[in-house]
Amino acid sequence: MLDIKFIRENPDLIKDAVRRKRSSFDVDALIKADDERREALKDFEEAKAMQNKVSDEIAKISDPEEKQKKIAEMKEYKAGVEEKEAKVKEVIGVWQRLMLQVPNVPDISVPEGESDEDNKEVRVVGTKPEFDFEPLDHITILEKNDWADFERGSKVAGFRGYFLKGAMVELSFAIFQSFLNDLIAKGYTPMMVPSLVKKELLMGTGYIPGGEEDLYQTQDGDYLAGTGEVAGMGYYMDEVLPKEKVPTKFAAFSTCFRREAGSHGKDVKGLIRVHEFFKLEQIILCEASHEESVKYHEEVTKNAEDFVESLGLYYHVVANCGADLGLGQVKKYDIEVWMPSQQKFRETHSASYFHDFQTRRLNIRYRDDEGSMRFAHSINNTAVATPRFLATIIEQYQTKDGRVRVPEKLKPFIGREFL
């Protein structure tokens, strides 16, 4: 959520953000609603003040006849106040709904574009794997080695259900423990966060309104989150952080759930696109400074890149275009790892920063060096998510005889040369 004062002072900037993010939001409608909100509040406050004035006058009147006359007058004022109060609630409701839909302003470095096809490659890292045989896709490798069972997964969990078995379980835990160790050494506090979250957390992080169709909702009105970012950001909701806790850095692990709405027909087999997965998320709350946000955005991206590179994987980094940014994101990088069977890079990590878009909604503040209350800035990044990341490893590390080598970094956790 942006500050309404900022929006009113910079309507053309917000309109350009709408254009760059290919949003349909009507900035003029919001400003009109804000004008109506201000006018309604003014009318209500003036009527309330008059009611209070008459009430004070009644208390000072000793003549019974004159007092009854004023009491009758008071009833008229009270009815007017109630009518104006109802009007205030109505216009504020409209205003609040519009405020929740205002897109954050993309950084000037964000590329123009209509879809993820227009994301701009920033760098390519590693050596593209070459094979002297026809490389297998990850589904074939998994089924050949009895490392996954998709048929029984569908029987138990429905469409896109899966069981991971044997070496894939070992590989999963090795990946998470290895990266978690790296992050702890860099000062990140490890957390296991809830997957079941309240609606206000999803509104606070910007997933609602707009992303409801991709969320699982319970009968009680709560939701299953698609990322640990949601609960992790809620940890300090409605709190004031001590200055010494800024920046705060989390490594949040959770089970994640997504309906994958709109992806029907895409990656219907295998581990690339599933409804339930596991993720370690980097979350940073820093001081309200664009420079600090950029610094920590680069930091979390580098942390993820360092890990991918340490596994010897071939990958590239792209800067997401405006149309591929979420409502609150100022800038986002995607790390995409090469899939030999598909002859293309597939997204495995995303890193974003939001300025105070999320923290303003969640009311997360701190006092700066001058003692002024400020909304913190937020940054997050997919440290690692499985099972998708597993698919990239086993495809790049497959051998001619159908086995899969263990990346050097993970050998201490798995204890052998091959999975």
> What is the phi/psi pair of residue 289, to 5°?
-145, 130
Rounded to whole angstroms, the Cα distance separating 27 from 101 reads 10
Q: What is the pLDDT of residues 218-277, one digit of tens each?
A: 999 999 999 999 999 999 999 999 888 999 999 999 999 999 876 666 777 889 989 999
Tell me, yes or no, whether 82 and 136 share the same domain. no
CATH of the domain at 296: 3.30.930.10
Tell me, yes or no, whether 260 and 374 share the same domain. yes
Tell me, yes or no, whether 124 and 177 share the same domain. yes
Rounded to whole angstroms, the Cα distance separating 153 from 244 reads 47
Tell me, yes or no, whether 167 and 235 share the same domain. yes
Q: Is residue 198 part of a domain?
A: yes
- In this predicted structure, what is the pLDDT of residue 265? 64
Tell me, yes or no, whether 92 and 236 share the same domain. no
Active site residues: 258, 273, 347, 350, 388
Question: Are 125 and 48 in contact, with CB atoms under 8 Å apart?
Answer: no
Q: Is residue 26 part of a domain?
A: yes
Rounded to whole angstroms, the Cα distance separating 401 from 362 reads 53
CATH of the domain at 18: 1.10.287.40
Tell me, yes or no, whether 54 and 167 share the same domain. no
- In this predicted structure, what is the pLDDT of residue 93? 94
Q: What are the beta bridge partners of residue 239?
A: 364
381: Cβ–Cβ under 8 A, 6 or more apart, which residues? 281, 282, 300, 301, 303, 304, 349, 350, 351, 352
Reduce the DSSP state of residue 158 to 3 states and report it: coil
Secondary structure (DSSP) of 286-339: E-S-HHHHHHHHHHHHHHHHHHHHHTT--EEEEEPPGGGS-SS-SEEEEEEEEE
- In this predicted structure, what is the pLDDT of residue 262? 66
Q: Is residue 108 part of a domain?
A: no
Domain with 58 in it: 4-99
Angle between helices 64-99 and 27-60 (to 10 degrees): 160
99: Cβ–Cβ under 8 A, 6 or more apart, which residues? 1, 2, 4, 30
Tell me, yes or no, whether 79 and 122 share the same domain. no
Q: Is residue 105 part of a domain?
A: no
- In this predicted structure, what is the pLDDT of residue 69? 75
Q: How far from the centroid of its chain's Cα atoms is residue 137's Cα? A: 31
Half-sphere exposure of 299 (CA within 13 A, CB side): 21
Name the stretches of the chain with pLDDT < 50: none
Rounded to whole angstroms, the Cα distance separating 331 from 267 reads 27
Place of tokens 């405020």: 99
When divided into structural domains, the chain yields a total of: 2
C-alpha closest to that of 279 among 252, 259, 302: 252
3-state per-residue secondary structure call for 56-104: HHHHHCCCHHHHHHHHHHHHHHHHHHHHHHHHHHHHHHHHHHHHCCCCC
Tell me, yes or no, whether 78 and 177 share the same domain. no
Tell me, yes or no, whether 45 and 148 share the same domain. no
- In this predicted structure, what is the pLDDT of residue 46? 84
